[in-house]
Chain A
Amino acid sequence: MGFLRKNNSQLAGAAAGAGSAANAAGAGAAGTAGANMAGGALFGGGALDKIDTWYAQSAAKNAQKNKILSILLRLIVRIGALLTATTLVFIVGYILVNGIPYITPSLFEWEYTTDNVSLMPALINTLLMAGLSLLMAVPIGVGSAIYLVEYAPRGNKFVQLVRTTTETLQGIPSIIYGLFGMLFFVTALGWGLSLMAGACTLAIMVLPVVMRTTEEALLAVPDSYREGGFGLGAGRLRTVFRCVLPSAIPGILGGVILALGRCVGEVAALIFTAGSIAEIPNLAAGAAALFDSTRTLSVHMYLLASEGLHINETYATAVVLLVVVVALNLLATFVAKKMNKGDIDD
């Protein structure tokens, strides 16, 4: 019964769980024994041997075919993963290699001129813009997630509507947000191309991100925390803020960092809402500074790339953008790890 051994070793070789391989072998052995017995009853001993060799041959052929298929499948899966990894390394590597030599102090000067395309104003504007939009999106996003998880009755029509609209918001491309921001904040509200119009547009864009992550973080908090709060006589509000929110904070923070990343990288939503003036808003003017036109780092990079006059500076700007994004990514991973540790402590 050579084929049995072959099948067997192949199964084991495919790194199957030892238990299931043994199971399969057992079932196979029983089956063959039955076949042999039937063979013995119908044919003489010689015929039985013939059938056995024939079985062994076809099984060996099958096993070989299976082996080739397995190797092929393993190979293409590896290729897929390898292509993804190579693409990432190539993109990041290419930008870094070409950009790092051109990161010079002059790139970080306070004034932007057509000769020295300093990215400093854009960098500061990015911080202002992202900060301002998160200032709006985070309280609203966290508030609505608290309502959905902690307050809303199950199967409520209002809740369903909120979920549907959040999903819709998440699917809308940024250029549509840009168009809307231009029609609503810039034109209808008369804010003009401004920091404020851009920040409001971004706030709506990242709202679903903050909402979804906060919702997940709140859902992950065990019910015993809530019961504990209620048991001590706290009202719902106090329970939410003292018992539930603190342990959900790492998850919420992760969402905020994701949202920040989207704000930093956004171009299409900002070109027609915040404009492209490469100056730091006149902060001395107070609230009026909110209505100055600004360009963020990504918009700055897009304009440099499409002008095509300062390719080296464009590479350098791309490096700075990448560094910001990677830093945010690492921060998010770090925060997520911290959250996982918190789970084990429970």
Chain B
Amino acid sequence: MHKLHIGENLARALFIAAAGISILAVAIICLFLFANGVPAIGKNGLPDFLFGSTWRPANDIYGIFPMIVGSIYVTAGAILVGVPIGLLCAIYLSRFASSKVEAFLKPGVELLAGIPSVVYGFFGLVVIVPFIRENIGGRGLSLLAAAVLLGIMILPTIITVAQSALDAVPKKYYEGALALGATHERSVFRVLVPAAGSGIMAGIVLGIGRAIGETMAVIMVAGNQVVMPNSILDGVRTMTANIVLEMGYAAGMHREALIATGVVLFVFVLMLTVLFNLIKKRGEAK
């Protein structure tokens, strides 16, 4: 009996320790990123680092404003492309599709989520970039290419989350709308979609998080020039791209500035996580 107790307690301690590892992981990730990145921000001065428009490591000038703008533009473009299509597809899957079509489309969406980002990036490089170069203009490696590619990449996130939000709306909402004489389409768009609003918003925020953090696919299609883009056909460099492109050979202050870029990105993502939780909580409170 006593032996059993020891075993039980040992097991409980082990499980608690396992649960503690994710806390530990977040703690050391924060510690190491901030410890290595914040000094560089301090040396440059926060305003100069965030809002400086010149990035010239050779002259020790580090301003990441073009990269922040690049990340925001690319993400906004991805949302413009991905959200309407994803939302419509989710509505279709939730309320219009026959079970036959759903049996084909659902695994398809899952597959879309599973395709590695390098494969997306390569596809963008050999299909989207030449298409833009030949039909729209510019060099092809552009903000537009990155936005379209990222829009495709966030589709599965938005579709999955929005569909489960739509499926979770109580049946009586839909039936009530029908009983008032609304058509099927009207009930779906005027009653179900607003009722699933917070779930759909949560999906969009998740999509934003994915788009802003995407690295390899963006590097392959965005052109990566450190300048403020004047049109959607100009190349842009995102914060993620900046890190991967220069980390390989950076040293000293340059390396610290790259880690600081990571810190800024990290703060962006943390803010998105908080926003996501707020939306989710508001949805639950309803």
Query: Which residues of A line the B interface, CB within 8 A?
Result: 7, 10-11, 14-17, 20-21, 23-24, 28, 66, 69-70, 73-74, 76-81, 83-85, 87-88, 91-92, 94-95, 98, 139-144, 146-148, 150-152, 158-159, 161-162, 165-169, 171-180, 182-184, 188, 204, 207-208, 211, 235-237, 261, 264-268, 271-272, 298, 301-302, 305-306, 311, 314, 318, 321-322, 325-326, 328-329, 332-333
Whether the pair A173, B122 counts as a contact (CB closer than 8 A) is no
Query: Nearest chain-B residue to A163 (Cβ)?
Result: B22
A333 touches B110 (CB 8 A): yes
Q: How far is the CB of A246 from chain B (nearest CB, A)?
A: 17
> A171 contacts B116, CB within 8 Å?
no
CB-based contact B109/A168 at 8 Å: no
Contact indicator B33/A176 (Cβ below 8 Å):
yes
Interface string of B144-187 (1 = CB under 8 A from A): 00000000100100010000000000000001001111011110
B80 within 8 A of partner (CB) = no
Q: How far is the CA of A208 from the CA of B20 in the complex (A)?
A: 12
**Dominant secondary structure at the A interface:** helix
> How many interface residues does B have (CB within 8 Å)?
92
Q: Is the CB of B116 within 8 A of A265?
A: yes
A209 to B8 Cα, complex, angstroms: 27
Q: Which of B107, B184, B214 touches A15 (beta carbons < 8 Å)? A: B184
Interface residue? B278 (CB, 8 A): no
Interface residues of B (CB under 8 A from A): 4, 7-8, 11-12, 14-23, 25-26, 28-29, 32-33, 36, 84-89, 91-93, 96-97, 101, 104-105, 107-112, 114-123, 125-127, 152, 155, 159, 175, 178-181, 183-186, 188-189, 209, 212-216, 219-220, 240, 243-244, 247-248, 259, 262, 265-266, 269-270, 272-273, 276-277
Is A301 within 8 A of B112, CB to CB? no
A325, B16: Cα distance in complex, Å: 33
Neighbouring B residues of A91 by C-beta, 8 Å: 115, 119-120, 123, 152
Inter-chain CA distance A107–B87, complex, in Å, is 41
A-B contact pairs, 24 of them (CB 8 A): A11-B181, A20-B179, A69-B183, A70-B184, A73-B188, A74-B185, A76-B88, A84-B108, A88-B112, A140-B18, A141-B18, A143-B14, A152-B19, A166-B22, A167-B276, A171-B273, A175-B244, A179-B262, A183-B33, A183-B259, A267-B215, A271-B248, A298-B116, A305-B118
Cβ of A88 to closest chain B Cβ, rounded Å:
5
Q: How far is the CA of A321 from the CA of B189 in the complex (A)?
A: 39
Set of chain B residues within 8 Å of A271, measured between Cβ atoms: 244, 248
Nearest-CB residue, chain B, relative to A87: B152
Residue in B18, B29, B126 whose CB lies within 8 Å of A143: B18
User: How far apart sit A317 and B55, CA to CA, in the bound complex (Å)?
Assistant: 35
B123: chain A residues at CB < 8 Å are 91, 94-95
B219 shortest CB reach to chain A, Å:
8
Q: Flag if B32 contacts A188 (CB, 8 Å).
A: yes
Select from chain B the residue with minimum beta-carbon distance to A11: B181
Q: Which residues of A contact B104 (CB under 8 A)?
A: 85
Contact of B89 among A83, A177, A179 (CB under 8 A): A83
Residues on A with C-beta less than 8 A from B101 are: 81
B23 touches A161 (CB 8 A): yes
Question: Given contacts A78-B96, A84-B89, is CB(A169)–CB(B116) below 8 Å?
Answer: no
User: Which chain A residues lie closer than 8 Å to B97 at the CB level?
Assistant: 81
* Closest Cβ–Cβ distance, residue B262 to chain A (whole Å): 5
Q: Contacts A148-B19, A166-B22 given; indicate if A171 touches B89 (C-beta within 8 A).
A: no
Q: Kindly list chain A residues whose C-beta atoms are within 8 Å of the C-beta of B4.
A: 235
In the assembled complex, the Cα of A140 lies from the Cα of B89 at a distance in Å of 36
Closest CB-CB distance, A150 to chain B, in whole Å?
Answer: 8
Q: How far is the CA of A21 from the CA of B213 in the complex (A)?
A: 49
B108–A88 CB distance below 8 A: yes
Give Cα distance in the complex from A85 to B216, angstroms. 24
Question: Given known contacts A173-B212, A321-B118, A326-B111, is B178 in contact with A204 (CB within 8 Å)?
Answer: no
Chain B positions within 8 Å of A162 at CB level: 19-20, 22-23
Chain A minimum-CB-distance residue to B188: A73
The 4 closest A-B pairs by CB, nearest first: A173-B213, A80-B88, A265-B116, A143-B18
What distance in Å separates the Cβ of A204 from its nearest Cβ neighbour in chain B?
5
Given contacts A91-B123, A176-B213, contact A28 B118 (CB under 8 A): no
Q: Considering the chains assembled together, what is the distance between the CA atoms of A311 and B130 in angstroms?
A: 15
Given A17-B175, A169-B25, A183-B259, the answer on whether A69 and B214 have CB atoms closer than 8 Å is: no
B179 touches A23 (CB 8 A): yes
CB contacts (< 8 Å) of B243 on chain A: these are: 175, 179
CA gap between A286 and B196 in the complex, in Å: 55
Q: How far is the CA of A61 from the CA of B33 in the complex (A)?
A: 64
- A95 and B175 CA atoms in complex are apart in Å by 45
